[in-house]
Amino acid sequence: MKKLISAFAAVLIMFLLAGNSVNGQANNQENKGKDNSLTQKEIKDGWKLLFDGKTAAGWMNAKTKKFPQSGWNIKDGILIFDPSTIDPKGGGGDIVSVDKFRNFELSADFKYKLGGNSGIKYFVDTEKNNGTLASIGCEYQILDDKNHPDAKLGISGNRTLAGLYDLIAPKPKLDNGPDQWNTAKIIVNGNHVEHWLNGQLTVSYERNNEAWKALVATSKFKDSPGFGEAAEGRLLLQAHGDLVSFKNIKIREIK
């Protein structure tokens, strides 16, 4: 009888432990938050969504100031640039944030296709030179390094994923690869800027100094006066001709 009671007690304990484990996993998933939403902690820490997963609110074409009628699509909570959906009569193009930002921490999940090329730009001035430089800005490069020829151009890898495009090559990084979600993070605090990919620091630099000017002078931006020196600017998602997807775009302004 005692053995039977002991066996029953052991089974009961295992059942309770399994239940607690399942509940713990559910709580962990809940704490992570759903796509295109903020947890209570993120709200407390000052994070704001730049994409609600349903509408194009807060974004516009870099030149027309209106959200493109084709090319950019929202499906299942994902903001997608798909060049095959561009209407020949007009559409597509880079999109920028309606708001301008000065000091911030930006986080965004992105997914590129095999051989894909895109980017996230910042310090973008859509009004400068009557809008002729509307798509010019410092760029967090999004690229399939293994399958896109641009990875071998530039200088010492300064056109590869998570680098500062055509200026600074990224440190060794963890790329989840084509058709997989990656997380980009850009931090701007005064003249100090950082790029992160999947939790790893890839680029760190200072701007608005002589070293920065010398670096720009050797790049394709040498003929763009004051490149990267603006105190504030818009954010830009690049339409480079390849399919690219974004979600969980959020920002925390640094006071």
Same domain, 14 and 42: no
* pLDDT score recorded for residue 254: 96
For the stretch 39-71, pLDDT in tens is 999 999 999 999 999 999 999 999 999 999 999
Same domain, 172 and 160: yes
Indicate if the pLDDT at residue 144 is higher than 70: yes
For the stretch 73-96, pLDDT in tens is 999 999 999 999 999 888 999 999
Same domain, 122 and 163: yes
Same domain, 47 and 171: yes
Fill in the DSSP letter of residue 48. E
* pLDDT score recorded for residue 127: 85
* pLDDT score recorded for residue 30: 41
CATH number at residue 139: 2.60.120.560
Q: What's the predicted TM-score (pTM) here?
A: 0.86
- The total number of structural domains in the chain stands at 2
Residues 6+ apart with CB under 8 A from 179: 111, 113, 114
Same domain, 178 and 239: yes
Domain that residue 22 falls in? 1-32
CB-based contact 175:193 (threshold 8 Å): no
Residues 6+ apart with CB under 8 A from 34: none
Same domain, 102 and 219: yes
Same domain, 95 and 24: no
Which phi and psi angles does 9 have, rounded to 5°?
-65, -40
Residue 158 exposure: Cα atoms within 13 Å on the Cβ side: 14
Query: Is residue 79 left, alpha or beta, with left meaning phi > 0 and alpha meaning psi from -120 to 50?
Result: beta
